[in-house]
């Protein structure tokens, strides 16, 4: 029989200017909820048993776009690349993985405010409870942050749409240290120019919560330190050369071969027409290579396509 | 039937992709797979004669 009842384990309010590091075991849920609304929550996440595995905005953005939401994952950085948490509920749908965390530098540089609440320092202070340093803070998942990209390529921040009671829920797929913080940007649009508390709740997931999780890929290239050539964490700051180092890059040397493709008159005609557009390459061979790879991506590649059609 | 030969320059990883695709049953040969790609790409991206529309 499957359970539909969750068990509440912990509930707390985080005040403006603060954040809180929370241990979550696999199968536990973190809910980040609005109190009065319109508040961005910045978020960091580490493997609880190996802090060198941490949430990666880049891979998450690549796989789920700039506004991940319900049924998307929070992925760890290469070469680990595992889903750390699953978004199982999102009542607003305006999350962001485009902007980096705000920082003391930013407020000093852009606003002339040398001492100011900022997500980097709030994260660093909350993570310090677990021995992490300011260098360990990583780019944040920005929940409830409403963003976009202007036609000129620059990102922008729009009005925060979250209302009182809105929430996101994250199901831990591994044991994690999860650190939400109340975004400290009160002179930006991020939280509509006002800092408000956020409510955090931790639950034991019910069986029915797992129904909201898509099956993630499990591949040999989701690597762990046992597979690294250097298995220990470097513990000093200075960089120095390893005299015994011998390069061992993958698939090197890259060797070029020529494959002869025999085309009928009709096929050659198509190739010439495609070449005449000037969009696909300089020579017929370059155009044919472009055609093959972009066709293959469109037809067989898993995940979001990175080559526009046509 | 007149034919033209095009020399496609590919590295070993790109050839592996082609060979894996052939092994999955999508085609019988490298030549055949590349020509299929051209045929389908051209159909999708070039103006088609009226009868094919």
> Residue B1's pLDDT is what?
66
> Residue B43's pLDDT is what?
97
Pairing mode of beta strands A198-204, A28-34:
antiparallel
Cβ distance A259 to B19 under 8 Å? no
Q: Does residue A168 sit within a domain?
A: yes
Q: What is the pTM of this model?
A: 0.89
- What is the extent of the structural domain holding B25? 12-45
In the structure, what pLDDT confidence band is assigned to residue B51 with cuts at 50, 70 and 90?
low
Q: Does residue B52 sit within a domain?
A: no
Q: Does residue A45 sit within a domain?
A: yes
Output the CA torsion sign for B22, B28, B33, B34. positive
Query: How many other CB atoms sit within 10 Å of the CB of residue A114?
Result: 9
Q: Do both A141 and A66 map to the same domain?
A: yes
With beta carbons under 8 A apart, name residues in chain B contacting A278: none
Strand partners, A204: A7, A28
pLDDT, mean over chain B: 92
* Residue B11 C-alpha, separation from nearest chain A C-alpha, in angstroms: 4
Cβ distance B14 to A288 under 8 Å? no
| Domain boundary pick from A227, A247, A274 | A227
Q: Does residue A60 sit within a domain?
A: yes
Measure the CA–CA gap between A118 and A273, rounded to whole angstroms. 55
The residue behind tokens 């985080």 is: A14
Q: Does residue A245 sit within a domain?
A: no
Q: Count of CB contacts below 8 A, A vs B?
A: 113
Q: Do both A16 and A138 map to the same domain?
A: yes
Q: Do both A167 and A268 map to the same domain?
A: no
Q: At what angle do helices B12-23 and B30-45 cross, to 10 degrees?
A: 90
Q: Does residue B50 sit within a domain?
A: no
How much is the ipTM here? Answer: 0.94
Cβ distance A98 to A61 under 8 Å? yes
Q: Do both A180 and A302 map to the same domain?
A: no
* Residue A119 C-alpha, separation from nearest chain B C-alpha, in angstroms: 43
* Residue B26 C-alpha, separation from nearest chain A C-alpha, in angstroms: 10
- What is the extent of the structural domain holding A21? 7-227
Residue A225: burial class (beta carbons within 10 Å; 0-12, 13-18, 19+): middle
Cβ distance A178 to A43 under 8 Å? yes
Strands (E) in A35-149, as ranges, are 41-47, 50-54, 73-75, 83-90, 141-143, 147-149
Say yes or no: A276 contacts chain B, CB-CB below 8 A. no
Which of A296, A305, A307 is best to mutate for the B interface (most B CBs within 10 A)? Answer: A296
> Residue A4's pLDDT is what?
86
Average pLDDT over residues B11-17: 95
Q: Do both A24 and A119 map to the same domain?
A: yes
Q: Does residue A249 sit within a domain?
A: no
Q: Does residue B20 sit within a domain?
A: yes
Token duo for residue B15: 């050839």
Q: Do both A218 and A262 map to the same domain?
A: no
Number of domains in chain B: 1
Measure the CA–CA gap between A71 and A91, rounded to whole angstroms. 13
pLDDT in tens, chain A (310 residues): 678 899 999 999 999 999 999 999 999 999 999 999 999 999 999 999 999 999 999 999 999 999 999 999 999 999 999 999 999 999 999 999 999 999 999 999 999 999 999 999 999 999 999 999 999 999 999 999 999 999 999 999 999 999 999 999 999 999 999 999 999 999 999 999 999 999 999 999 999 999 989 899 999 999 999 999 999 999 999 989 999 989 898 899 999 999 999 999 999 999 999 999 999 999 999 999 999 999 999 999 988 888 777 6
Q: Does residue B51 sit within a domain?
A: no
Q: Do A271 and B35 touch (CB under 8 A)?
A: no
Q: Does residue B23 sit within a domain?
A: yes
Q: Does residue B3 sit within a domain?
A: no
Q: Do B34 and A259 touch (CB under 8 A)?
A: yes
With beta carbons under 8 A apart, name residues in chain A contacting B17: 296
Cβ distance A152 to A19 under 8 Å? no
Q: Please, what's the b/e burial string for A61-99 (b: 16 or more CB within 10 A of its CB; e: otherwise)? A: beebebbbeeebbbbbbeebbbbbbbbbbbebebbbbbb
> Residue A45's pLDDT is what?
98
Q: Do B31 and A259 touch (CB under 8 A)?
A: yes
Which of B3, B8, B24, B40 is best to mutate for the A interface (most A CBs within 10 A)? Answer: B8
Q: Does residue A202 sit within a domain?
A: yes
Q: Do both A223 and A302 map to the same domain?
A: no
| CB-nearest partner of B37 from A258, A273, A292 | A292
Q: Does residue A1 sit within a domain?
A: no
Q: Does residue A137 sit within a domain?
A: yes
């Amino acid at each position: 029989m499957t359970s539909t009842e969750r068990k509440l384990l912990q509930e707390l309010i985080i005040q403006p200017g603060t954040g809180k590091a929370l241990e979550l075991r696999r199968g536990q849920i973190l809910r980040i909820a609005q109190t009065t609304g319109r508040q961005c929550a910045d978020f960091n996440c580490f493997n609880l048993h190996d802090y060198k595995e941490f949430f990666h905005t880049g891979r998450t953005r690549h796989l789920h776009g700039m506004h991940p939401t319900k049924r998307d994952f929070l992925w760890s950085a290469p070469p680990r690349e595992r889903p750390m948490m699953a978004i199982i509920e999102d009542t607003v749908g305006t999350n962001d993985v485009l902007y980096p965390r705000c920082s003391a530098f930013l407020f000093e540089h852009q606003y002339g405010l040398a001492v100011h609440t900022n997500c980097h320092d709030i994260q660093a202070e909350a993570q310090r409870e677990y021995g992490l340093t300011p260098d360990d803070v990583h780019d944040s998942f920005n929940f409830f942050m409403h963003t976009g990209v202007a036609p000129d390529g620059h990102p922008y921040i729009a009005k925060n749409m979250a209302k009182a009671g809105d929430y996101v829920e994250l199901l831990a797929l591994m044991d994690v240290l999860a650190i939400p913080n109340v975004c400290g940007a009160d002179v930006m649009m991020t939280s509509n120019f006002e800092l408000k508390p956020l409510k955090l709740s931790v639950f034991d997931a019910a069986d029915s919560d797992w129904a909201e999780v898509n099956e993630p890929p499990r591949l040999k290239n989701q690597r762990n330190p046992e597979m690294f050539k250097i298995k220990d964490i470097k513990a000093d700051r200075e960089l120095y050369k390893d005299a015994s180092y011998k390069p061992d890059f993958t698939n090197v040397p890259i060797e070029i071969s020529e494959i002869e493709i025999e085309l009928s008159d009709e096929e050659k005609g198509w190739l010439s027409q495609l070449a005449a557009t000037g969009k696909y390459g300089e020579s017929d061979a370059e155009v044919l290579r472009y055609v093959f790879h972009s066709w293959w991506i469109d037809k067989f590649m898993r995940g979001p396509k990175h080559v526009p059609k046509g | 039937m007149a034919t033209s030969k095009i020399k496609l320059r590919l590295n070993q990883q790109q050839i592996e992709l082609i060979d894996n695709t052939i092994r999955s049953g999508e085609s019988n040969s490298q030549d055949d797979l590349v020509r299929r790609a051209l045929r389908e790409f051209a159909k999708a991206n070039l103006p088609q004669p009226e009868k094919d529309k």
